[in-house]
Amino acid sequence: MRHRSRGLGLPIPALLLCTALAVTACGAQSSTSDSGDGGSGGGELSAVPGFDPDAGTIAVGNLVALSGPISATAREQLLGQQAWFDKVNADGGIAGEYQIELITADNQYDAQVTVQAYQQIKDQVVMLSGILGTPSVKALVPILNRDEAVGVPSNQAAELRDEPALLPVFPSYQTNVVNAVAYLNEQDPSLKDAVYCELGYDSEWGDAVEEGLTFATEQLGTTVTSVQRYAPLDTSVTAQVQELKQAGCEVVAFSGAVNNTPAMVAAATQLDFKPQWIAEFIANSTAFSGTPIAQYLQENVLFTGPGADLSDTSIEGIKVLKDSLGDTDLTLQHVYGYIQAVAVTTLLEKAVEEGDLSGPGLREALTTMDKIDFQGLNGDLTLGEPEDRVLPQATTIYEYDPATPYGLSAVAPQYQAEETNPDF
């Protein structure tokens, strides 16, 4: 009796597979083909993804939250970047030859979307001028390393400062808290014996603020008494604020964005809790102007961040921004994006000077850079080899001022505590 196979016959799939492989193998690269490193080799810049020498354009990409609860502030960052790029382009462009183009992609403040957005634009840009969100930055780091690419993180995470793929430019969350606590004690020495606490995001941001506050209180010879956490999308923090009140907190470091501030103020007002709060500038919004929130902020909150006196047009960066924005009120988010853009053009100038705009070329240029002139808007940033980098140790301290359109008025531009931690 002859046996007839009823299963999957081998010849047919084998034939189909072979056909598929032989006919369609055009998407894989041959290992013997040229890699095309984008280097100059002879002093003239070669074309690389994002750089078209014939058109005279260099494109950079920004992965930013164009949608979601922080989209309004994220868009201000983009406008700030565009203001500086427009200025550079008007002056002739990078090295007086190449115009900068800004390409944006919405990362929705989500790490997985960020990876997809990066894949979408990476072949159109030479580098990333912004990556919004610490989780997004961390998700991209291994991919940027594999692609030998460079990006500017839109965050202040100290632990990312020595990543070869990143060009960090801002003082860290930790440094901001350290400087704010030092400033408060300088103004009122009796706060040395105050009760220090934190109301923070249940995330790496909250961890960073706690780390900074711990360092600052150690310098004062005291400790952090109470740490309360909340989820980023919590609409009420009454229970946490109640805990802080019961602990007798007198100085509270707050890590929260603009969408968290109303909940904090509502809980504190409801409980008649009025400590000295320390917050990042991103906790403020022009939308608070004229509301009861503004009154509480004015009486109880000190803000920290990069930047300077936003009304001082003698500062080059402020003047450029105001000229570019026209009737739009200048905010620290504009300044934030502007500072990133300055770092980007400085790096691009260096890479053009060294004759290589490819990813490896930009990384090489990054290691040969020393300082960046932020036009009075940011502290000194020490670059060089990744392990030698030191983030700015100075922070501008702001108070809430209802008389100004944005609400924040600088009381101590580029203030630096006597004792800072270079690891922050």
Contacts with other proteins by CB under 8 A lie at 6-8, 12-13, 16-17, 19-21, 24-32, 66-68, 71, 75-79, 82, 102, 104, 106, 108, 111-112, 115-116, 119-120, 122-123, 134-135, 138-139, 141-143, 146, 202-204, 206-207
- Report, in Å, the least distance between residue 164 CB and other proteins: 15
Exposed, middle or buried: residue 90 (CB in 10 Å: 0-12, 13-18, 19+)? exposed
Residue closer to other proteins by CB (options 82, 358) is 82
Residue closer to other proteins by CB (options 116, 270) is 116
- Report, in Å, the least distance between residue 331 CB and other proteins: 12
Measured distance CA(326)–CA(42) in Å, rounded: 44
Residue closer to other proteins by CB (options 119, 235) is 119
Q: Is 123 helix (H, G, I), strand (E, B) or coil?
A: helix
Q: Which two tokens mark 357?
A: 């705009």
Residue closer to other proteins by CB (options 119, 270) is 119
State the residue for tokens 């505590």.
417
Residue 302 parent element (H or E): strand 301-305
Q: Is 46 helix (H, G, I), strand (E, B) or coil?
A: coil
Residue closer to other proteins by CB (options 28, 403) is 28
Q: Which two tokens mark 35?
A: 């890699």
Q: Are 237 and 230 in contact (CB under 8 A)?
A: yes
Residue 366 parent element (H or E): helix 359-368
Q: How does 286-324 read in b/e, with b if 16+ C-beta sit within 10 Å?
A: bebbeeebbebbeebbbbbbbbbbbeeeebebbebbbeb
Q: How does 240-273 read in b/e, with b if 16+ C-beta sit within 10 Å?
A: bbebbbeeebbbbbbbbbbbbbbbbbbbbbeeeb
Residue closer to other proteins by CB (options 259, 300) is 259
Q: Which two tokens mark 371?
A: 């300082």
Q: Compute, in degrees rounded to 10, the torsion defined by CA atoms 348, 86, 93, 315.
A: -70
Residue closer to other proteins by CB (options 213, 268) is 213
Q: Which two tokens mark 145?
A: 């390393």
- Report, in Å, the least distance between residue 121 CB and other proteins: 8
Residue closer to other proteins by CB (options 72, 411) is 72
Q: Which two tokens mark 94?
A: 């990078």
Residue closer to other proteins by CB (options 44, 123) is 123
**DSSP for residue 247:** T
Q: What are phi and psi of 253, to 5 degrees?
A: -85, 130
